[in-house]
Amino acid sequence: MSGGVEPETPPSSGGSATGSPMARKPPRHQLTAIRHCASSARIAAASTDLGLDSGTLSLISPPDIRPSFLPVFRSGSCANIGPKSYMEDEHVCIDSLIEHLGMLTPAIPAPGAFYGVFDGHGGTDAVCFVRKNLLKFIIEDGHFPNSMEKAIRSAFVKADHAIADSLSLDRNSGTTALTALIFGRTLLVANAGDCRAVLGKRGRAVELSKDHKPSCKSEKLRIENLGGIVFDGYLNGQLSVARAIGDWHVKGSKGSISPLTPEPEFQEVRLTEEDEFLIIGCDGLWDVMTSQCAVSMVRKELMAHNDPERCSRELVQEALRRDTCDNLTAVVVCFSADPPPQIEIPRFRVRRSISMEGLHMLKGALDSNA
């Protein structure tokens, strides 16, 4: 194995994990967060039809964002086998890199945190290996910490090559990978595959990753330029993702050009007080839930009990109620010790050109969504 990395003994791909029983799908009127999302969309549509300034319908954010803001990291996670017979999801939550790694790595800025979700396929060898070694590869890379993107990209590729070189791992197993590395106020998300990271910004969902599906326009173009094909939504008719670590039966020999790449895409964010929490999850969650609905649910739960662990469980249970077909993993990372504040709803301001009839139509649309 390259780099002398000792692989973790992988569990059997036919193993099982304990999961909650499938529950029936609840009536739509019970899903408060979903109703909120739909109402917001209808209000926005009504404002466009009636010639309103949609900016006046947005939520008010506190104007006094302190430049000295420094996030406090606390997280919770939940994983569930779902309806499948075996579990191939893995995740990692490290709220303090200094405590996790000890004083042997003094170059790490503080405060620092690391989170990741990994969705395996074709067995558990690749996903377990990546969960165990990816952070180690990042920290040991020569570009760390001066060039985080280069260090993370190099770590993804190194993990990919280590699986190919291993004599003890199934090189045909694979995994997607999404990581969130935070130092101070800088959040850097790296994604290869169809896991997703979503930032909760005063109740609004901001997606920090792109689902790498073969049918995605940019990914399809990249695949075809490298000699691959997309057939019925699958890369070369085999994989439902366009980027992954492992899967050497698709990539061929090391050094050959392959449309399946382990290299991640990046999104960097400078956190402010408006950024309340981060949700990262595998595709079993996002297959049945929009990013906005997940943010609305988590924000409501945090305001009620301020516990990210319970929030992650609620997300997983809601996905089960919606009949997801996959394993489930959800991680919620809060950036403050306090719960999110109540959001003020401004009085609607309209353009002078709107007619009285238009005002009545808007009032009716809002009342119908109350």
Burial of 297 (0-12, 13-18, 19+ CB in 10 A): buried
Tokens 């992988």 sit on residue: 10
Contact status, residue 160 vs residue 246, Cβ threshold 8 Å: yes
User: In terms of residue numbers, what domain contains 330?
Assistant: 69-343
Same-domain check for residues 337 and 351? no
Residues ≥6 apart with Cβ < 8 Å to 302: 276, 277, 308, 311, 334, 339, 340
Same-domain check for residues 113 and 198? yes
What pLDDT, on the 0 to 100 scale, is given for residue 255? Answer: 87
Contact status, residue 113 vs residue 331, Cβ threshold 8 Å: no
Same-domain check for residues 351 and 339? no
Which of 201-235 are b and which e, b meaning 16 or more Cβ less than 10 Å from the residue's Cβ?
A: bbbbbbebbebbbbebeebbebbeeeebebeeebb
Residue 35 lies in a domain: no
Residue 106 lies in a domain: yes
Same-domain check for residues 336 and 193? yes
Residue 9 lies in a domain: no
Count of the separate structural domains present in the chain: 2
Residue 149 lies in a domain: yes
E runs forming strands in the chain: 74-80, 89-94, 112-121, 174-183, 186-192, 196-201, 204-207, 230-231, 234-235, 245-246, 265-270, 275-281, 328-334
Same-domain check for residues 286 and 308? yes
Same-domain check for residues 78 and 185? yes
What pLDDT, on the 0 to 100 scale, is given for residue 321? Answer: 98
Residue 221 lies in a domain: yes
DSSP annotation of 51: T
Strand partners, 238: none
Phi-psi region of 202 (alpha: psi -120 to 50; beta: other; left: phi over 0): left
Same-domain check for residues 261 and 337? yes
Same-domain check for residues 213 and 272? yes
What pLDDT, on the 0 to 100 scale, is given for residue 50? Answer: 36
Average pLDDT of adjacent 10-residue blocks, the chain of 370 residues: 44 43 40 37 40 35 58 97 97 95 69 96 98 97 94 98 97 98 96 98 97 96 96 95 97 93 98 97 98 98 98 98 98 97 73 65 67
Residue 20 lies in a domain: no
Write the CATH number for 95.
3.60.40.10
Token pair, residue 171, equals 């090189």
What pLDDT, on the 0 to 100 scale, is given for residue 147? Answer: 95
Same-domain check for residues 55 and 77? no
What pLDDT, on the 0 to 100 scale, is given for residue 352? Answer: 59
- At 22, which amino acid appears? M
State the pTM of this model: 0.77
Contact status, residue 44 vs residue 58, Cβ threshold 8 Å: no
Question: 192: how many CB neighbours lie within 10 A of its CB?
Answer: 26
Same-domain check for residues 135 and 236? yes
Token pair, residue 168, equals 């003890």
- Our CA angle for 202, 204, 207, nearest 5°, is 125
Same-domain check for residues 73 and 54? no
User: 87: closest CA among 165, 2, 10?
Assistant: 10
Same-domain check for residues 339 and 359? no
Strand partners, 332: 76, 279
Token pair, residue 58, equals 């947005």
What pLDDT, on the 0 to 100 scale, is given for residue 66? Answer: 54
End-to-end CA distance of the chain: 61
What pLDDT, on the 0 to 100 scale, is given for residue 110? Answer: 78
Residue 12 lies in a domain: no
Residue 23 lies in a domain: no
The whole-angstrom separation of Cα 169 and Cα 162 is 9
What pLDDT, on the 0 to 100 scale, is given for residue 362? Answer: 75
